[in-house]
Structure 1
């Protein structure tokens, strides 16, 4: 049951509704796992104010952690006006900022990038940055996206893909009073969507080990915010020894959750087929920006870029991009991914099988669009009662309490976020 008003967030899209629905889906799935354990789940309830706050969790953490309010965006990240429209450049990672400068032939200043973009078409800028290994998206109208080959490919996808890709025994659940008690998750994700999925699984009792690498860049506030309930270890997959260690971990895992760019893990040998052979009964969960079919299936993407590409940012006209009030595509995809993984666990109890769960930010965008529109008026109310302070290895952090009431086993995190790489490579 969803309670509360949608006016807790501004804008024409029903973002608060999407937040509540995706959280409800995950909490319902957790309730079904409780039922399999002989525990009555009770009535699931999601409050839209709490859901909206959870979809803005990184902002509350950052505001409390940084005296000046902080900023999640690097200097070069942003929307730029081209000769014939708008393009967004994602530069939060140094190699993406380097790709922008290389692709456009400019020094790393906002002034230089602005001037270079203004002289070129938005499509030219987008393709130059992508060819250089960066991440960019021009702003399309909803109609242009619907007619685009990738828009058509995404439109044909399910919101949550769930395929049986190999044999596997029926799953036996460990004795536990938590929905995912005894389930071991390898979390190879970054930024928001994937880490949120792992954070939700941890809140429902999964043993989640996040794997990063010392040489890979991170956005520190996001690591602090999405690491709740997890352990954190380093593993360098560019080395043969690192890949061998991952295979050993896969052999003992129940879930492999990953958000590498499509094709990146398979290039290292970790194809779905090989994963299924090494660990029959594994659940493989892949999150991507633009889906797993179509000409953009391997394109880098982030929430802010997908909003422009799919026409979400052009809802009120093409004069300038108007973003959603929160990173809704990321957060909704994360919660829906957690729901899909828990549904896969439930299905394995009944039928077994190695299973492949897939979601895409662009498909989540079309789902949000399908929910219709609301009065654009709205404002985030006071949510101080939904926040709590917790001691962590980073120091004191402010986090949003886990949303979604599940009377038979309410979600909670057993630990605060750990410093990256501070745990051993084991559960």
Structure 2
């Protein structure tokens, strides 16, 4: 049996898979384990953050800046995979942000299901399907009349967000698990012809002068935009007043970004976004597959509008397979793809009927966000040399399959998850649109162009829909 790959090997494999030559310029100090998990969450954090950081360094070098060695400490990287928990606003802990009926329940056949009801319409839809009141007790009673897999399917058909807990073996045998396993975790595809777009002349920061439209919500997509902003990109986050959002996450994921609102339901809104896209380098979106395309913003349409654009697509389960268009979140993909089952068994539970045990952080979200940022930067490097318009694809389920493939860690469940008061100089403070903010600094470090967020996080729609 081959030993589990070292973080440097994991990073090297990502670098090669993205079509980049040479070795990534990065130092990766630290040792596992860091967090209480049987999976190599810390190694995944270190490698994905290092990939994005090293790619930013390479862009800066090719613009005429000095060569730099990225440095990503394992402990800091692992903590950044839980950055949303390390927040203080005006000295108070950030809100928990979970709906009262979200979580796991045992169905009548003994199988667990996980409900994701943080958006009001998802909560209302689940309660309508169950025909019960909005309390955990009522939901638990109602689910006794269901088999787990049947409720998962009924919820999906109703457009709701539910996952039945499977073992890794069950997921591997499932058609969607097989579809995910057939694809790499990061795909960079040329989707149109365009002449090479030279990188701008050297500037003070690696991504200065590059424009990113960020149409994402929750964690994974916003982490990608936040990472690009940390290296100097102009990131304009676009939302709409009628769409639900996790506002509790914005103080963390909104750092470095401006925020505008555009309603794509009317012609004026679509025209405004087209105008922004025509001058963008990157179009980042993380809505359900097909949702943005239906509004006229398919990658191919954007490539025709703006030859040389880099489009990114983030999804829950990928675009292939029977669940290709299904809604999902990190916690649901963990449940469906075997992580909750595997973690419970590794912790000593009965393999036949373990209670779900979650990863110690939203690892699929954060890893996907950093993979997407890395893929975006790799596509910009390839655009400068090869020309073309590009599409970068990442899915939470694909990231889950990749994380499983990194191997396992023993003896980590006794480790505590560090609290904010234990982080010391890993924290930074800044004013924000939400109050005085204390938050975790970025784990990716470059000595000549240290990453920073030049803009504080703001509330949605604080800026006009225009490039600065």
Please state if 1:379 is matched with 2:416.
yes
Counterparts in 2 of 1:68 and 1:411: CA distance versus 1, 3 Å: closer
What is aligned with 1:172?
A: 198
How far does the alpha carbon of each residue in 1:100-135 deviate from its partner, in whole angstroms, 9 at most, with x for none?
011212222222111111221111221222222210
CA distance in 1, matches of 2:219, 2:85: 12
What is aligned with 2:354?
A: 319
Contact kept? 1:7, 1:379, Cα under 8 Å: no
CA distance in 1, matches of 2:92, 2:53: 34
How far does the alpha carbon of each residue in 1:352-383 deviate from its partner, in whole angstroms, 9 at most, with x for none?
10000000001111111111111223223421
What is aligned with 2:44?
A: 18
Residues 60-79 of structure 1 aligned to structure 2 (within 5 Å): 60-61=86-87, 67=92, 70-79=95-104
Counterparts in 2 of 1:65 and 1:6: CA distance versus 1, 3 Å: farther
Match of 2:447 among 400, 407, 423: 407
How far does the alpha carbon of each residue in 1:329-371 deviate from its partner, in whole angstroms, 9 at most, with x for none?
0001001100000000000110110000000001111111111
Please state if 1:388 is matched with 2:414.
no
Match of 1:351 among 378, 386, 392: 386
What is aligned with 1:237?
A: 264
How far does the alpha carbon of each residue in 1:276-316 deviate from its partner, in whole angstroms, 9 at most, with x for none?
11111110000001012111110000000000111011102
Unaligned residue ranges in structure 1 (runs of 5+): none
Contact kept? 2:95, 2:248, Cα under 8 Å: no
Unaligned residue ranges in structure 2 (runs of 5+): 1-26, 346-350
Match of 2:372 among 326, 334, 337: 337
Aligned residues: 426
CA distance in 1, matches of 2:286, 2:190: 20
Please state if 1:116 is matched with 2:151.
no
Residues 22-421 of structure 1 aligned to structure 2 (within 5 Å): 22-61=48-87, 67=92, 70-83=95-108, 84-175=110-201, 176-315=203-342, 316=345, 317=351, 318-375=353-410, 376-377=412-413, 378-381=415-418, 382-421=422-461
Q: Which moved more, 1:199-208 or 1:162-171?
A: 162-171
Q: 1:68 offset after TM fit, Å?
A: 6.4
Counterparts in 2 of 1:426 and 1:26: CA distance versus 1, 3 Å: same
CA distance in 2, matches of 1:117, 1:67: 37
Contact kept? 2:89, 2:436, Cα under 8 Å: no
Q: 1:169 offset after TM fit, Å?
A: 2.2
CA distance in 2, matches of 1:349, 1:199: 23
**Residue aligned with 1:359, SS:** strand
Q: Which moved more, 1:168-177 or 1:132-141?
A: 168-177
CA RMSD of aligned residues (A): 1.4
Q: 1:271 offset after TM fit, Å?
A: 1.7
**Residue aligned with 1:395, SS:** coil
CA distance in 1, matches of 2:52, 2:211: 18
TM-score after normalising by structure 2? 0.89
Contact kept? 2:91, 2:436, Cα under 8 Å: no
Q: 1:72 offset after TM fit, Å?
A: 2.1
